[in-house]
Amino acid sequence: MTPAFKDLVAYDIGGGWGSDVCQSEYESIGYVIRGTDIPRVAVGDVNTVPLRFHKASNLASRKLQSGDIVFEVSGGSKGQPVGRALQITDKILGRFDQPVMCASFCKLIRLDPGRALPGYVFRVLQAAYADGGLDSFQVQSTGITNFKWKPFLEHFKIELPDPEVQRRVASVMDSFDDLIENNRRRVEVLEEMARAIYREWFVEFRYPGHRGVPLVDSARGPIPENWTWGQLDYLVQVVKDTVDPSTLDPDTPAVGLEHIPRNQLTLDDWGVAGEQGSRKAVFSKGDVLFGKIRPYFHKVSVAPVDGISSTDAIVIRPVEQHWGEVAMVVSSASFVAHATQTSNGTKMPRADWKVLGQWPVAVPSAGLSQSFTGIVRDHLELAKTLMFENRRLSELRDLLLPKLVTGQIDVSTLDLDTMISTGLMREGSVAP
């Protein structure tokens, strides 16, 4: 059976944006998933999703339910076509403490489960987006790319296999997504453990061997004897080297502000130099990238590789023995709040390192600093390992998806556990 997409849809409606303040008629609170939020929400990260005020009727008619699909219909660019999709699950809805709807540049799609399994149709949409199957429905308008929704409903056909096959394909893909989300949660735990140790040692001064060490008065309050107060600038080098990306290997990692996650030290996404234009900053593995535009977005991550980045990121290279303390300080909520309060500009505020470098830091002995750096490195190295595992799983999933939805691979014969554990799947290595 190969129905048109319109024959599978029970309900669809465009999203909304509401208001950023409570006002007459706009009194209902709800989160709004934008197209730019889709990749992060898909792995369980809802930190970027804004909370806004809506008309009660608008929110009620657009409130997302488990099984719905959020589909992007506007806002694309030359290198970023529209048509990204997000499957709404109970797990995703459980991340929010208020109702959720999609933004104006997206559509809510509610499928008829009697015609097709929503989870399978979602995977077909993912595969079509990845292989260019949605390109014919793109149209350029006023500098952005829009999606031709009505022609899509009429002309996009979906080949539906037996319902059991649909269920198995969706289940396989869900297994990958669950593994990726579980790893991301483990990254969160590891980072929070490192922050908790930082607070214990450097804020509460309950470090190993603290018993019997008196606190002495200082201009900034009590501090352990033999510790000193210093400025952040003393513990770091701000790297200002730049390079023309065209002179580099085109596969050199390239980090834009859009790649740096909010409230996460583990950098898990980047582009390549071959896709870049203007000069870029140069960073090394272990440097800390601090997003200086709109610092309240809290985009601070440790570079897991050598590469280049937008010059809108400050490249911070800590002195080795103080690496752990610096990573914890510049990613802390209090430091980011200070960066926000002291930033320059109104529409596009920018953090000023001349100010940030004066941030006070409590400096212990060299031995204690090195010990703490070792602990933080251990935690963040494990987080980095999980991040690279997620990249591998994502690659494996994305290679497998089109082969499953087109029937090139018989899902009933798929040994998923072996494939995941060995990582043997490569494009072209699986026979039809």
Largest CA distance in the chain: 79
Say if 134 falls within a structural domain: yes
Q: What is the mean pLDDT of residues 159-163?
A: 94
- Between residues 143 and 86, the one the model is more confident about: 86
β-strand partners of 23: 26
Task: Answer yes or no: is pLDDT of 428 > 50.
Answer: no
Q: Can you name the residues that pair with 362 across neighbouring β-strands?
A: 229
Let me know: does 191 contact 379? Beta carbons within 8 Å: yes
Per-residue CA distances from 154 to 1, 5, 256, 293, 399 (Å)? 16, 7, 38, 43, 28
Same domain, 151 and 266: no
Closest alpha carbon to 265 in 386, 371, 350, 347: 386
CA angle 83-53-109, nearest 5°?
Answer: 30
What per-residue confidence (pLDDT) applies to 280?
97
Identify whether residues 131 and 223 lie together within a single domain. Answer: no
Q: What is the pLDDT of residue 47?
A: 86
Would you say residue 181 lies in a domain? no
Q: Are residues 211 and 156 in the same domain?
A: no
| Same domain? 33 vs 145 | yes
* Same domain (yes/no): 263, 358: yes
Higher pLDDT, 250 or 422: 250
Q: Does residue 234 lie in a domain region?
A: yes
Q: What is the CA radius of gyration of the chain?
A: 24
What are the tokens at 89? 């699950």
Query: Same structural domain for residues 89 and 230?
Result: no
Residue 223 is assigned to a structural domain of this protein: yes
Q: How confident is the model at residue 1 (pLDDT cuts 50, 70, 90)?
A: confident
Please give the span between the terminal C-alpha atoms of the chain, in angstroms, as a whole number.
Answer: 21
In a domain, 177, yes or no: no
Q: Tokens standing for 165? A: 């096959």
Q: Which domain does 295 fall in, by range? A: 207-365
Domain boundary among 307, 339, 365: 365
Q: Are residues 42 and 130 in the same domain?
A: yes
Domain co-membership, 155 together with 10: yes
The mean pLDDT value for 174-185 works out to: 93
Do 154 and 240 belong together in one domain? Answer: no
Count of CA atoms in the C-beta half-sphere (13 A) of 111? 25
Label the pairing between strands 307-309 and 253-255: parallel
Task: Classify strands 360-363 and 228-231 as parallel, antiparallel or unpaired.
Answer: antiparallel
Strand partners, 253: 272
pLDDT at residue 432, rounded to an integer: 36
For the beta carbon of residue 74, count every other beta carbon within 10 angstroms.
19
What confidence category does residue 55 fall into, taking pLDDT thresholds of 50, 70 and 90? Answer: very high
Q: Same domain for 12 and 78?
A: yes
User: Do the domain assignments include residue 376?
Assistant: no
Residue 395 resides in a domain: no
CATH of the domain at 156: 3.90.220.20
**Does residue 373 sit within a domain?**
no
Q: How far apart are CA 292 and CA 299, in angstroms?
A: 8
Strand order in the sheet with 74-76: 74-76, 144-147, 138-141
Q: Per-residue confidence at 273, pLDDT binned at 50, 70, 90? A: very high
Residues 219, 86, single domain; the answer is no
The percent of residues above 90 in pLDDT, for the chain, comes to 84
Of 103, 138, 160, the residue at which a domain comes to its end is 160
Identify whether residues 242 and 359 lie together within a single domain.
yes
Q: Are 15 and 102 within 8 A, CB to CB?
A: yes
Task: Read off the pLDDT band of 424 (50, 70, 90).
Answer: low
129 within 8 A of 84, measured Cβ to Cβ? yes
The total number of structural domains in the chain stands at: 2
pTM, full prediction: 0.86
In the chain, DSSP finds a helix count (H) and a strand count (E) of 11, 23
d(CA 297, CA 294): 6
